[in-house]
Amino acid sequence: MIQRKLITCTINGNKIQTMVDVRASLTDMLRNDYRLTSVKKGCEVGECGACNVMIDGECFNSCIYLAVWADSKHIRTVESLLGSAGELHPIQQAFVDEGAVQCGYCTPGFIMTALEIVQSGRQYTRDELKKLLSGHLCRCTGYENIVNAVEKAMKGTAQSIPETISRHRPATR
Amino acid sequence: MYNMGAYYEATSVAHAISLLQRHSGPTTKIVAGGSDVLIQMREGKLAGYTLVSIQRLDELRGVYMDDDETLRILPVTSFSHITKHPLIKEYINVLGYAVDQIGSPQIRNIGTIGGNICNGVTSADSASTLLAYDAVVEITGPAGVRRLPITDFYIKAGVVALMPDEVLTAILIPKESYENTHGHYIKYAMRNAMDIATLGCSLNVRLSPDKRAVERVRVGYGVAGPVPMRAKNAEEAGNGRPASMDTVNRAAKAALLDVNPRDSWRASKALRLHLAEELCRRAFTMAITRAGGSL
């Protein structure tokens, strides 16, 4: 018998209530039930950071977080960064400008960590940024351009980054 | 999807204990953060296990100061929250530093200090510091609350003194332990992130008021034996001695009488013995400097 549990949470600004399989990871729920496919399945053991999402303002690898634990939490994925007219978020733009994206698989995870860095309002040194980004594996770029992009976004925030959370409904199953 | 048996979510410590009483067995595990248990479930080691989750017990989160000034660290506190906590920064900063060496930023948001010691592994980055500060663990079970020095909590590799229906409910650091101490932790690993310590050494000192003598030194090691350990010979070589390089070197040499590392695919016994001495030397030097002594 499949054991399910009713949870209520907020995903990208939308309050939802759903029955989740207790065996599901948060990655499973976000991808399969809400089609938030920016949340990638990489290693699935918390090493690569491709499934990284923000839960109550802190970054978590959603592959090692049970979906049932999301009850009453605020979850944010890269989809929330989309501007109302479809424009990129300044962090995303910095990744484009700095050539920080190649195959793109690791990018959403990196961007959510970059968002946590930018939202902290602090200015970090390059070494500190490297440590803060150390939970993400990228096999294409060699990291240099990614660190450049995050540094650029962080410095850009001195002039304040818009707090965009798109309000369009996540696709229902 | 995880290959999970049943799932039970505790709504209080008492509820967790009653869930454990009803469902405990050889294939039942308590899960808090999930960064050990869920990964082992994914890898198949815990496939089909029943989980009793204490993840959502906010009553087990946070760091507090008891009336007698004992530092009370609740077990479901994440590593990143330990590092950021003002009480940790003020009184036992080395613990915040040590848990900041674990995994990656996301893992430090996920993993909990209670899980770090309850899994009983020798490489736990928090354990050597907790040992070096004479931490006391508070365990709650059907019969009530009992306390145990952390050295007695570790039984053997992967095994701690928790009965199947008991939950770790606090880690206590007595005032006598942390008062007026300065410490340092060194994790030696092959990579700067996402790695397990080849060897770890946590050391703290209390200098005499004139900063010329080591009033007390305490040394803890990880991966220097099957479980995290204290280095009593190293401590004896330092206690009451002048705060000098000579004392530091004597203590580092004496640490070799305490440690008992093994050969593994990660590193040889010879390298670990070398590290045991050298990390003690460096941590001791740093701790004395931080305490205001000059070498």
User: For the segment A18-54, what is each residue's pLDDT rounded down to a tens digit?
Assistant: 999 999 999 999 999 999 999 999 999 999 999 999 9
Q: Which residues of B touch A5 (CB under 8 A)?
A: 7, 9
The Cα of B248 is separated from the nearest Cα of chain A by a number of Å equal to 31
Query: What is the ipTM metric for this complex?
Result: 0.94
* A166 is a domain residue: no
Cβ contacts of B4 on chain A, cutoff 8 Å = 22-23
Q: What is the pLDDT of residue A157?
A: 78
Write the Ramachandran bin of B145: left for phi over 0, alpha for psi from -120 to 50, otherwise beta. beta
Assess whether A95 and A136 both reside in one domain. Answer: yes
**A96 plus A154 within the same structural domain:** yes
Pairing type for strands B199-207 and B182-188 reads antiparallel
Q: Compute the average pLDDT of residues B54-69.
A: 98
Q: What is the pLDDT of residues A127-170, one digit of tens each?
A: 999 999 999 999 999 999 999 999 999 999 766 555 555 544 55
User: What's the CATH number where A14 sits?
Assistant: 3.10.20.30
Predicted confidence band of residue B106 (pLDDT cuts 50, 70, 90)? very high
Q: Which fold has domain B181-290?
A: Enolase-like; domain 1 (3.30.390)
Kindly compute the dihedral angle of the four CA atoms of residues B208, B211, B216, B220, in this order, to the nearest 10 degrees: 160
**Tens digit of each residue's pLDDT (9 = 90 or more) over A89-139:** 999 999 999 999 999 999 999 999 999 999 999 999 999 999 999 999 999
C-alpha distances (whole Å) from B289 to each of A143, B204, B217, B238, B255 are 36, 11, 13, 15, 20
| Spatial separation of the C-alpha atoms in residues B36 and B234, rounded to whole Å | 32
- How many domains would you assign to chain A? 2
For chain A, say whether B194 makes contact (Cβ under 8 Å).
Answer: yes
User: Which letter does DSSP use for residue A65 in this model?
Assistant: S
From A80, A110, A137, the end of a domain falls on: A80
Same domain, A33 and A73: yes
B39 → closest Cβ in A24, A28, A64: A64
**A63 shares a domain with A101:** no
In this structure, which topology does domain B7-53 adopt according to CATH? 3.30.43
Chain A residue at shortest CA distance from B54: A69
Q: Are residues A57 and A94 in the same domain?
A: no
Q: Is residue A73 part of a domain?
A: yes
Domain segments of chain B as ranges: 7-53, 58-176, 181-290
The residue among A50, A80, A110 that closes a domain is A80
Written as six digits, the tokens of B57 are 């017990």
> Which residues in chain B are closer than 8 Å to A57, comparing Cβ atoms?
none
CATH number for the domain harbouring residue A123:
1.10.150.120
Dihedrals phi, psi of B253, to nearest 5 degrees: -65, -40
Looking at the structure, tell me whether residues A37 and A15 fall in a common domain: yes
Task: Kindly state the tokens that stand for B109.
Answer: 């948001």
A45, A80, A115 - which closes a domain = A80
End-to-end Cα separation, chain A, in angstroms: 22
**A interface mutation test: which of B42, B78, B106 has the most A CBs within 10 A?**
B106
Q: Which residues of chain B does A47 touch, with a Cβ-Cβ cutoff of 8 Å?
A: 104, 194
Residues 88-127 of B with CB under 8 A from A: 103-107, 109-110
| CA separation for the pair A56, A75 (Å, rounded) | 6
Mean pLDDT of A76-85: 96
SS (H, E, C) chain B: CCCCCCEEECCCHHHHHHHHHHHCCCCEEEECCCCCHHHHHHHCCCCCCEEEECCCCHHHCCEEECCCCCEEECCCCEHHHHHHCHHHHHHCHHHHHHHCCCCCHHHHHHCEHHHHHHCCCCCCCCHHHHHHCCCEEEEEECCEEEEEEHHHHEEECCEECCCCCCEEEEEEECHHHHCCCEEEEEEECCCCCCCCCCEEEEEEEEECCCCCEEEEEEEEEECCCCCCEECHHHHHHHCCCECCHHHHHHHHHHHHHHCCCCCCCCCCHHHHHHHHHHHHHHHHHHHHHHCCCCC
CB contact under 8 A, B105 and A21: no
pLDDT at position A141 is: 95
Measured between beta carbons, the chain B residues lying within 8 angstroms of A45 are 39, 42-43
Please calculate the CA angle A109-A115-A121 and round it to the nearest 5 degrees.
Answer: 150
Q: What percentage of chain A carries pLDDT values higher than 70?
A: 91
- How many C-beta neighbours within 10 Å does residue A8 have? 12
CB-defined contacts A:B, below 8 A: 86
Residue A94 lies in a domain: yes
Residues A73 and A120 in one domain: no
Average pLDDT of chain B to the nearest whole number: 97
Q: Can you say how many angstroms the Cα of residue A135 is from the centroid of all Cα atoms in its chain? A: 13
> Do A71 and A110 share a domain, yes or no?
no
pTM of the entire structure?
0.95
CB-CB under 8 Å, B35 with A64: yes
Asked whether the beta carbons of residue B2 and residue A52 sit closer than 8 angstroms, the reply is no
Whether chain A has a CB inside 8 Å of the CB on B44: the answer is: no
Nearest to A69 among B55, B106, B107 (CB): B55
Chain B residues with CB under 8 Å of A44 CB are: 42
The domain over range B58-176 is classified in CATH as 2.30.110.10:
no
Determine, for residues A46 and B105 on separate chains, whether the beta-carbon distance falls below 8 Å. Answer: no
Check: CB of residue B83 under 8 Å from CB of residue B98.
no
Say if CB B94 and CB B177 are below 8 A apart.
no
Assigned domain for A168 exists: no
Query: Based on the domain organization, do A72 and A99 belong to the same domain?
Result: no
Rounded to whole angstroms, how far apart are CA atoms A141 and B27? 43
Residue from B103, B254, B123, B126 nearest B199 by CA: B123
For A49, the closest of B34, B55, B106 (CB atoms) is B106
Give the pLDDT band of residue B20 (cuts 50, 70, 90): very high
SS3 state of residue A108: helix
Q: Quote the domain boundaries for residue A139.
A: 90-159
